[in-house]
């Protein structure tokens, strides 16, 4: 039957699926915290600002972005927030995040994942993983410590912080 719901859904990727749920819009965030659309990086500054500011986690644990009345699913492997840089600051160390923001590092939240990737918890309570450059920058400051759960500690302003492990 021409014009049937099934035919419209097949021809129009923006049409809801049979359960009435939105179809994936091809939006994702990669392991380095970059927004991608159909695998291509989003580079326009204002578009990135809108995407990051509208990113929200649903009650079922999935992620979406919403602009006006439109929304789209966002595929995220673990966490959208990636630490892209680590620099010394008056209070210790500052993190530069994938959404363009920065915040002080809470060293008590740093841990080493089973995959060897550093992770921390942000002020918002969200987890963040360290990107390659940030992991190298922080890794240069780590010291071996057999008594720490991960085997490493971070010293900041004369205080030692044992790193946890996942």
For residues 20-41, average pLDDT: 80
pLDDT at 108 over 60: yes
Distance, CA of 160 to CA of 153 (rounded, Å): 6
pLDDT at 77: 80
Decide the pairing of beta strands 118-121 and 70-76.
unpaired
pLDDT of 42 higher than 90 = yes
Percent of the chain whose pLDDT exceeds 70: 85
What mean pLDDT comes out for the span 24-45? Answer: 89
Backbone angles phi, psi at 7, to 5 degrees: -70, -40
CATH 3.10.540 range(s) for the chain read 5-76
How is domain 5-76 classified at the architecture level of CATH? Roll (3.10)
What's the maximum distance between 2 C-alpha atoms anywhere in the chain? 75
Percent of the chain surpassing pLDDT 90 = 75
Q: Give residue 25's pLDDT band: very low, low, confident or very high (50, 70, 90).
A: low
Q: How many CB atoms lie within 10 A of CB 150?
A: 19
């Amino acid at each position: 039957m021409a014009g049937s719901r099934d035919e419209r859904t097949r021809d129009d990727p923006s049409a809801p699926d049979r359960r009435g749920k939105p179809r994936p819009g091809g939006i994702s965030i990669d392991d380095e915290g970059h927004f991608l659309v159909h695998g291509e990086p989003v580079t326009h500054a204002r578009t990135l600002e809108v995407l990051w500011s509208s990113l929200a986690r649903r009650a079922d644990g999935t992620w979406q972005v919403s602009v006006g009345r439109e929304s789209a699913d966002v595929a995220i492997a673990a966490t959208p927030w990636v630490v892209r840089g680590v620099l010394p600051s008056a209070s210790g160390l500052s993190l530069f995040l994938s959404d363009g923001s920065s915040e002080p590092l809470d060293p008590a939240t740093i841990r080493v994942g089973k995959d060897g990737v550093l992770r921390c918890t942000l002020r918002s309570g969200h987890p963040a993983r360290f990107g390659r450059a940030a992991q190298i920058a922080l890794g240069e400051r780590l010291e071996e410590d057999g008594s720490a759960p991960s085997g490493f500690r971070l010293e900041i302003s004369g205080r030692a912080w044992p790193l946890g492990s996942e």
